[in-house]
Copies of this chain bind each other. A is one copy, B any other.
Amino acid sequence: MPRLGLLPRRAFAALLSQLLRPPRTACVRALGGHSQIAEAMVTSQLKPHQEKPSFIIKTPRGTRDLSPQEMVVREKILDMVISCFKRHGAKGLDTPAFELKEVLMEKYNEQSGLIYDLEDQGGELLSLRYDLTVPFARYLAMNKLKKMKRYQVGKVWRRESPTMVQGRYREFYQCDFDIAGQFDPMIPDAECLKIMCEILSGLQLGDFLIKVNDRRIVDGVFAVCGVPESKFHTICASMDKLDKISWKGVRHEMVAQKGLAPEVADRIGDYVQHHGGVSLVEQMLQDPRLSQNKQALEGLESLKLLFEYLTLFGITEKISFDLSLARGLDYYTGVIYEAVLLQTPAQVGEEPFNVGSVAAGGRYDELVATFDPKGHKVPCVGLSIGVERIFHIVEQRIKTSGEKVRTTETQVFVATPQKNFLRQRLKLIAELWDAGIKAEMLYKNNPKLLTQLHYCENTGIPWVVIIGEQEQKEGVIKLRSVATREEEAIKREHLVAEIQKRLSQS
């Protein structure tokens, strides 16, 4: 039990930190359908004999509730993503929300500070998962699986600094697809890119581009530019910021913060400006310095083969070999990729926003081995769909279009025009439920007919079953179409069959 004596001080501190903090909340609020914060002091009243702390009622910083409207959109997008993963033969997997702290350590380079740790309550040291990739690798090693094609959809948590990255949440969904196993080169890698194309095309988010590079090319560039090997990881992390800050800013970080020689940074700068198709791969293969580097050469040869397969898949026009792409995570070892929307889908009335990357991934051939007692390798390649940003775009569109989203699926409403018909309504609605028909009624003894019909119009219920004195006498019920307002009498005993007939026709 929490010690009550500590509470008022803690609550005060929490309040103070709220008031002093920059208004991150405004950003969260703009995204959600409901206000995420009720700026009010709350006094708990469950046990009136105890003194209660006062606190501001809100969701934790960087998190939000999803309202029913948002849930409908989310469900549709997730369904679409999952059905694509299944189309490619993936199996489902679920892993715990938290892992042993040791499992996550050393996997995320400079992002490790963003991991949420659980309090040591006398047991294991635990952390909330940071992505779905490391848990997947841990699962493979733990179960000694040598191959697996799996998808996983679930929340991950990152303590992102709200001032740095606008519009990002600290809790968000990831949708991952990965292929583990020793296969012939670039076939699974090409399929991952195909999947990204299928999903981004299917969701109709507008034009997109998938930037592709290879971690070995990144390392090769670093090597030929003169970056000391001990600095590869940290310089790679700096380069990963190129989609958020300019080359000038990245160069400054490399030189001032990471201690890179300015001329080395400039040499890197010369390479990272390049992007193009398979011809750029050929060009780089001719680059006198790069082609001498074993790592870079391997990466370039791989990309050449990859482009051949992408041509067969018919998706090369969506792919750009981009030497500035780094991907911040430590565990990538081969091809890496990141999909970006080419234009902000700003329509009239929409506020423009930077959506950043909407999907990303790459090859990580060494990660599973770090969990295997004998260091056995299981090569892996995979992708993650940035559904959170996709939700944002789709939600904005719906908002702009003024389209009304139904948040329930109710097919039939049970109504009465008379008093004292509660019992008949209850009996009738139970019949509908038992027949699998989605049905609602008002939880009132004697509701007004108009109130009942308005409820149907407001919530989009298409059919109303009406039962009253007259109908009861005649052994019928009235079936009313909410759209046309037409009513017809139906024999009471045929009710379920008649409704099912109408529902199957619509």
Q: Hey, which bits of chain A sit against chain B, CB under 8 A?
A: 1-2, 7, 10-11, 14, 17, 34-38, 40-47, 49-50, 52-53, 55, 57-61, 63-68, 70-72, 74-75, 86-103, 105-107, 110, 112-113, 116-121, 123-126, 128, 138-139, 141-144, 150, 155, 157, 159, 171, 179, 181, 183-184, 187-188, 190-191, 194, 198, 230, 233, 309, 312-314, 330-331, 366-367, 369-373, 375, 407-410, 422-423, 426-427, 430, 433-434, 436-440, 443-445
* A438 & B40 in contact (Cβ 8 Å cutoff): no
Of B36, B93, B314, the residue contacting A66 (CB under 8 A) is B93
* A370 & B440 in contact (Cβ 8 Å cutoff): no
Give A465 to B76 CA distance when docked, in angstroms. 31
- Closest approach, in angstroms, between the C-beta of A370 and any C-beta of chain B? 5
> Could you say which residues of chain B place their CB within 8 Å of the CB of A96?
59-60, 63-65, 171
Name the CB-closest residue of B to A183: B443
> Could you say which residues of chain B place their CB within 8 Å of the CB of A40?
373
Give A432 to B86 CA distance when docked, in angstroms. 13
* B426 & A190 in contact (Cβ 8 Å cutoff): yes
* A92 & B118 in contact (Cβ 8 Å cutoff): no
* B42 & A87 in contact (Cβ 8 Å cutoff): no
Give A410 to B45 CA distance when docked, in angstroms. 55
Of B117, B194, B230, the residue contacting A121 (CB under 8 A) is B117
* A312 & B427 in contact (Cβ 8 Å cutoff): yes
* B194 & A433 in contact (Cβ 8 Å cutoff): yes
* A103 & B370 in contact (Cβ 8 Å cutoff): no
> Could you say which residues of chain B place their CB within 8 Å of the CB of A128?
97, 118
* A112 & B2 in contact (Cβ 8 Å cutoff): yes
- Closest approach, in angstroms, between the C-beta of A96 and any C-beta of chain B? 4
* B89 & A408 in contact (Cβ 8 Å cutoff): yes
> Could you say which residues of chain B place their CB within 8 Å of the CB of A88?
433, 438-440
* B369 & A45 in contact (Cβ 8 Å cutoff): yes
* A68 & B43 in contact (Cβ 8 Å cutoff): no
> Could you say which residues of chain B place their CB within 8 Å of the CB of A112?
1-2
Give A179 to B440 CA distance when docked, in angstroms. 12
> Could you say which residues of chain B place their CB within 8 Å of the CB of A91?
68, 71, 407-408
Name the CB-closest residue of B to A433: B87
- Closest approach, in angstroms, between the C-beta of A335 and any C-beta of chain B? 14
CB within 8 Å for A366 and B46 given contacts A1-B112, A10-B125, A117-B118: yes
> Could you say which residues of chain B place their CB within 8 Å of the CB of A144?
38
> Could you say which residues of chain B place their CB within 8 Å of the CB of A408?
86, 89-91
Name the CB-closest residue of B to A126: B60
Of B105, B366, B438, the residue contacting A2 (CB under 8 A) is B105
> Could you say which residues of chain B place their CB within 8 Å of the CB of A117?
118-119, 121
* B92 & A407 in contact (Cβ 8 Å cutoff): yes
- Closest approach, in angstroms, between the C-beta of A62 and any C-beta of chain B? 9
CB within 8 Å for A123 and B17 given contacts A63-B96, A98-B63, A194-B433: yes
* A184 & B366 in contact (Cβ 8 Å cutoff): no
Give A302 to B198 CA distance when docked, in angstroms. 56
- Closest approach, in angstroms, between the C-beta of A150 and any C-beta of chain B? 7
* B426 & A60 in contact (Cβ 8 Å cutoff): no
Name the CB-closest residue of B to A173: B94
Give A409 to B149 CA distance when docked, in angstroms. 13
Name the CB-closest residue of B to A96: B63
CB within 8 Å for A372 and B98 given contacts A119-B118, A183-B443, A437-B87: no
* B372 & A309 in contact (Cβ 8 Å cutoff): no
- Closest approach, in angstroms, between the C-beta of A1 and any C-beta of chain B? 5
- Closest approach, in angstroms, between the C-beta of A17 and any C-beta of chain B? 7
* B57 & A97 in contact (Cβ 8 Å cutoff): no
Give A206 to B397 CA distance when docked, in angstroms. 48
* A44 & B106 in contact (Cβ 8 Å cutoff): yes
* B38 & A142 in contact (Cβ 8 Å cutoff): yes
* B143 & A34 in contact (Cβ 8 Å cutoff): yes
Name the CB-closest residue of B to A145: B34
* B433 & A65 in contact (Cβ 8 Å cutoff): no
> Could you say which residues of chain B place their CB within 8 Å of the CB of A407?
91-92
CB within 8 Å for A142 and B63 given contacts A71-B91, A313-B430: no
* B10 & A106 in contact (Cβ 8 Å cutoff): no
Name the CB-closest residue of B to A64: B96
* A313 & B59 in contact (Cβ 8 Å cutoff): no
User: Can you list 25 contacts pairing A with B, beta carbon distance less than 8 Å?
Assistant: A1-B110, A10-B125, A34-B143, A36-B142, A42-B370, A55-B100, A57-B103, A57-B373, A58-B100, A59-B142, A61-B124, A66-B94, A66-B95, A67-B93, A71-B92, A71-B94, A75-B92, A87-B438, A89-B438, A89-B439, A97-B97, A97-B155, A117-B121, A119-B120, A187-B445
